Amino acid sequence: MTVGCSMNAGALAFRLGLRGMPVAAEAGLVERDLRLLAELKVAAPTCTSPFVDGGGAGRGSPRPAQWFARNLRVAPHHFVLTESAVGEYNTNAKMNPPCRAESDRRAMLEGLLDGSIDCIATDHAPHASHEKEQEFDRAPMASRDSNRPSALPSSCFIVSTRSRSAG
């Protein structure tokens, strides 16, 4: 489901002629990880994922017992950026897993604020500019800016805090 995918599956990927990664590809992995953790009665983090399905497999999963420490992680670029950051083939927005729709971004923010998402983490594998400055399909997935992960969350929470106090 993910081989050859460059971005989120959807209208933008279709318009750009790029193969999109369906949410189901991540949903299955997150759901599998949560089932295994519960069955094995171990504490471990899930993979870093923008998949929250508006409160589905990730946020909506119960913690069945005290021994089960589910640990949902999201990366800064996943709760700040959306698939629209790809714009016209912006390779700096090519991530794995890809940035998703606005509804997913908002669900991640809600999860961070209500505590159902436990951790902000990134594998942060930056690439040199010359690696990212090529055709979208050929460019590696990940950011080229080594300072970007730390800058994204603060700008997001400033916006989020302003939005909440204005409402």
Angle subtended at Cα 139 by Cα 134 and Cα 144, rounded to the nearest 5 degrees:
95
Contact 51, 75 (CB under 8 A): no
Active site positions, annotated: 123
Cβ-proximal residues to 56 (8 Å cutoff; 6+ apart), any chain: 27
- Which tokens is 78 given? 């996943």
* CB-count exposure of residue 17 (10 Å: 0-12, 13-18, 19+): exposed
